Amino acid sequence: ERYDEAEAYYQRALKIKSKHLGEKHPDIIKLLGNYSNLLLALNKKSEADALRAGSTVITAKNWSKSKVTPEFV
Protein backbone atom coordinates (compact mmCIF):
# COMPACT_ATOMS: atom_id res chain seq x y z
CA GLU A 1 0.00 0.00 0.00
CA ARG A 2 0.97 3.61 -0.20
CA TYR A 3 0.80 4.33 3.53
CA ASP A 4 4.57 4.00 3.84
CA GLU A 5 5.00 6.55 1.07
CA ALA A 6 2.49 8.85 2.78
CA GLU A 7 4.43 8.59 6.03
CA ALA A 8 7.56 9.89 4.30
CA TYR A 9 5.56 12.80 2.86
CA TYR A 10 4.14 13.69 6.28
CA GLN A 11 7.63 13.70 7.78
CA ARG A 12 8.87 15.97 5.01
CA ALA A 13 5.86 18.28 5.31
CA LEU A 14 6.35 18.60 9.07
CA LYS A 15 9.99 19.49 8.63
CA ILE A 16 9.30 22.12 5.98
CA LYS A 17 6.21 23.67 7.58
CA SER A 18 7.79 23.76 11.05
CA LYS A 19 10.78 25.59 9.62
CA HIS A 20 8.67 28.20 7.83
CA LEU A 21 5.64 28.56 10.12
CA GLY A 22 7.04 27.64 13.52
CA GLU A 23 6.13 24.61 15.59
CA LYS A 24 3.17 26.30 17.32
CA HIS A 25 1.31 27.27 14.14
CA PRO A 26 -2.25 25.88 13.80
CA ASP A 27 -1.33 24.24 10.48
CA ILE A 28 1.33 22.21 12.29
CA ILE A 29 -1.21 21.04 14.86
CA LYS A 30 -3.57 19.94 12.08
CA LEU A 31 -0.73 18.18 10.26
CA LEU A 32 0.26 16.34 13.45
CA GLY A 33 -3.31 15.13 13.87
CA ASN A 34 -3.51 13.87 10.31
CA TYR A 35 -0.10 12.24 10.56
CA SER A 36 -1.13 10.49 13.78
CA ASN A 37 -4.22 9.11 11.99
CA LEU A 38 -1.94 7.65 9.35
CA LEU A 39 0.25 6.09 12.02
CA LEU A 40 -2.81 4.49 13.55
CA ALA A 41 -3.66 3.02 10.15
CA LEU A 42 -0.13 1.61 10.06
CA ASN A 43 -0.62 0.04 13.53
CA LYS A 44 1.96 2.40 15.06
CA LYS A 45 -0.18 3.33 18.06
CA SER A 46 2.62 4.46 20.38
CA GLU A 47 4.00 6.85 17.76
CA ALA A 48 0.50 8.13 16.99
CA ASP A 49 -0.18 8.69 20.69
CA ALA A 50 3.07 10.63 21.05
CA LEU A 51 2.14 12.93 18.15
CA ARG A 52 -1.34 13.50 19.54
CA ALA A 53 0.08 14.30 22.96
CA GLY A 54 2.49 16.79 21.39
CA SER A 55 -0.25 18.51 19.43
CA THR A 56 -2.40 18.71 22.57
CA VAL A 57 0.42 20.42 24.47
CA ILE A 58 0.95 22.92 21.64
CA THR A 59 -2.79 23.64 21.50
CA ALA A 60 -2.96 24.17 25.26
CA LYS A 61 0.00 26.56 25.16
CA ASN A 62 -1.56 28.50 22.30
CA TRP A 63 -4.87 28.84 24.18
CA SER A 64 -3.14 29.87 27.39
CA LYS A 65 -1.50 32.76 25.53
CA SER A 66 -4.75 33.75 23.86
CA LYS A 67 -7.13 36.28 25.32
CA VAL A 68 -10.03 34.26 23.93
CA THR A 69 -11.51 31.56 26.11
CA PRO A 70 -12.89 28.66 24.09
CA GLU A 71 -16.53 27.86 24.88
CA PHE A 72 -15.88 24.14 25.21
CA VAL A 73 -13.49 24.53 28.18
CB atoms within 10 A of CB 29: 17
User: pLDDT band at residue 23, thresholds of 50, 70 and 90?
Assistant: confident
- List pLDDT tens digits, range 55-72: 776 776 666 665 555 555
Question: What is the predicted pLDDT for the residue at 28?
Answer: 87
Contact 55, 32 (CB under 8 A): yes
37 or 56: whose pLDDT is higher?
37
CA distances from 50 to 8, 15, 35 (A): 17, 17, 11
Question: What is the predicted pLDDT for the residue at 11?
Answer: 95
Q: How far apart are CA 33 and CA 73, in angstroms?
A: 20
Total-model pTM: 0.74
Question: What is the predicted pLDDT for the residue at 55?
Answer: 74
- The conformation of residue 67, written as its DSSP 8-state character, comes to S
